[in-house]
Structure 1
Amino acid sequence: MHQPDFDIAIRLGLVPDSTLIARTLARNLTWLCASPDYLSQRGTPLHPVELEQHDGLLYTHRAPGGCWQLLHNGQRQTWRVKNRLRSDNAFSLLEAARMGLGIVVMPLFLGAEAIMRGELKIVLPDWQPEGGNIVALYRQTRRASPVIQALVNEVAEKLGPEPEWEKTVTTGRAAAPLEQGRKRP
């Protein structure tokens, strides 16, 4: 966004540059997910303290120091994860999770299809990674631009307060995308 030839950017999460106008387009819900094969081989964690015994698929920019920040009952808590794979590419992490390589923090917009097809299960549903929002960013000098404003309005309207990927997973909860966990011995 610091290059003069960019008019608008779509970004996930927090917006560090206050010189830009930020318009929230949708929530960026995220979940801890793993493949059914991984969970059947390694077990399903019942509490985040168990994440230390699991393989983590870590997004470089979201897991500094090999830790995940999870929200539980409105409180943010940090949990250490064993690093099996680190990448700055969410698509690579999605594929690694599908292949059974570990547990991943997955944005719902990217993982909804895999969840609905049963390729991924949501684990620790009461401990949600903070996803922030999907935000349109543009310069203040471009604020009056009718084209930029029309594009931002159109995207916000198309996504709506509950984007299609959220409806799909919420409606499909009866299809059991949540991994219920193993019984304690």
Structure 2
Amino acid sequence: MNNMKLIALLPDLASFILIVEEGSFTAAAKKLEVTPSALSKMVTRLEASLSVKLFERTTRTLIITRAGQQVYDQAVIMVNAAKQAVELSVSDHTEISGALTVAAPEAFLNSVLQPFVVPFLKQYPDIQLKLRVADGEIDLIRDNIDIAFKLTDKPDENLVLKEIGSTNLVLCASPDYIQQRGMPSHPNQLVEHDCLYLAENDRDHIWDFFKDDEFHSVSVSGRYAVNHSQMRLTGVKNALGIGIFHDFVIADAIKNGEVVPVLANWTIKSNYHGGVAMQYAQTKYMPARLRAFIDYVSDALAEKLE
């Protein structure tokens, strides 16, 4: 029997189970709010579909046949499995539990998201959280990701967008480096300096600068390139050159005097500038765990990313 025919039989099998358990058509019909004759026709239809006789019927008694007992035993398993599937589906959208996979760029994950992980998991003890570093392009469906954080002004139009803030790019260098090599006063002077960049994409060594009506695109170079923000920051702190960072990565180092801003009166753009957003697949029924995460992170990060 193919799946479509089997699915069509499920309502009849469920009614058949109730007849067996109630012991009569009348009692079962009352629970189902149908007439006994309607149930009788249903049993006749089910017997024809299965090519077996399910009951021996007399005027006073209803006796299940041997074949009917076998059908009953298997039908109970099937209907219970269907119930469990429905219950799981319902709980997925009402109970805040289950696995949640979140992807984010390394710098954002380490500097911004990481401090909120433990409090979130303590508030929702039935959620299993999986964090994945994703600095390159990702496919949420292919990579089995529930939600992704993106730092870009070009979000994926095929996904739901939840904006949570913005971020700026900052150039900085250590006081020792500035003392040794001098402070650049114009973007074009960067070609005379050692610069640390991501080396993740072909254009990462091209830094674009804007101020009023001016625009300058500078091809920088240096002895050290690394696509890990903390390693790049360590290099900058140790006077290896001028580095480019998101403001949330470099804020503490600037505050502590470990590095100083460079060309602070210019706006810098690269592949990684723009808004900070969460993106997830469009769904009519959002799992409760995903909604809980979105709400929690939106509230937690709103002030931090102002």
What amino acid does structure 2 have at the position aligned with 1:163?
A: K
1:49 aligned to which of 188, 195, 199? 188
**By how many angstroms is 1:61 displaced?**
3.8
Cα distance, 1:74 vs structure 2: 6.7
- Partner-residue secondary structure (3-state), 1:154: helix
Conserved 8 A contact 2:235-2:241: yes
Length-normalised TM-score, structure 2: 0.49
1:9 and 1:88 mapped to 2: Cα distance?
Answer: 19
Post-superposition offset of 1:155: 1.3
Please tell me whether residue 135 in structure 1 is matched to residue 277 in structure 2.
Answer: yes
Alpha-carbon distance change, 158 to 65 in structure 1, aligned in 2, over 3 angstroms: closer
Once residues 49 and 112 of structure 1 are traced to their aligned partners in structure 2, the CA distance between those partners, rounded to angstroms, is 25
Specify the SS of the correspondent of 2:225: strand
Pairwise CA RMSD = 2.3
Greater RCO (CA < 8 Å, at least 6 residues apart):
1
Contact 1:26 / 1:156 at 8 angstroms: preserved in 2? Answer: no
**SS in structure 1 opposite 2:249?**
helix
1:27 Cα shift? 0.9
Residues 198 and 204, structure 2, Cα contact 8 Å, conserved in 1? no
- d(CA) in 2 for partners of 1:93, 1:7: 30
Gaps of 5+ in 2: 1-139
Q: Between the two proteins, what is the percent identity of the paired residues? A: 30
Q: Superposed, which structure 2 residues align to 1:149-168 within 5 Å?
A: 149-160=291-302, 162-163=303-304
Determine the C-alpha separation between the residues in 1 that align with 2:201 and 2:267. Answer: 14
Map of 1:19 onto structure 2: 158
Give the match for residue 173 of structure 1: none
Q: Give SS of 2:239's match.
A: coil
Matches within 5 A, 1:169-184: none
Equivalenced residues, count: 164
Which residue of structure 1 lines up, in the alignment, with residue 230 of structure 2? 91
**Amino acid in structure 2 at the alignment position of 1:10:** F
* Larger CA deviation: 28-37 vs 125-134: 125-134
Compare CA radii of gyration and give the structure with the larger one: 2
Deviation per residue, 1:41-87 (Å, 9 max, x gap): 00000000100001110112467162101232276531121232222
Stretches of structure 1 that go unaligned for 5 or more consecutive residues are 167-185
What's the offset of the Cα at 1:150? 2.8
Q: 2 CA distance for matches of 1:6 and 1:128?
A: 33
SS at match of 2:261: strand
CA contact (8 A) 1:66 1:83 kept: no
Matches of 2:153 and 2:143, distance apart in 1: 22
Q: Is the 8 A contact 1:22 1:135 kept in 2?
A: yes
Contact in 2 for aligned 1:143/1:149 (Cα 8 Å): no
- 1:15, distance to aligned residue in structure 2 (A): 4.1
2:220 is matched with which residue: 61, 81, 87? 81
Q: Please state which structure has a larger fraction of its residues in strand.
A: 1
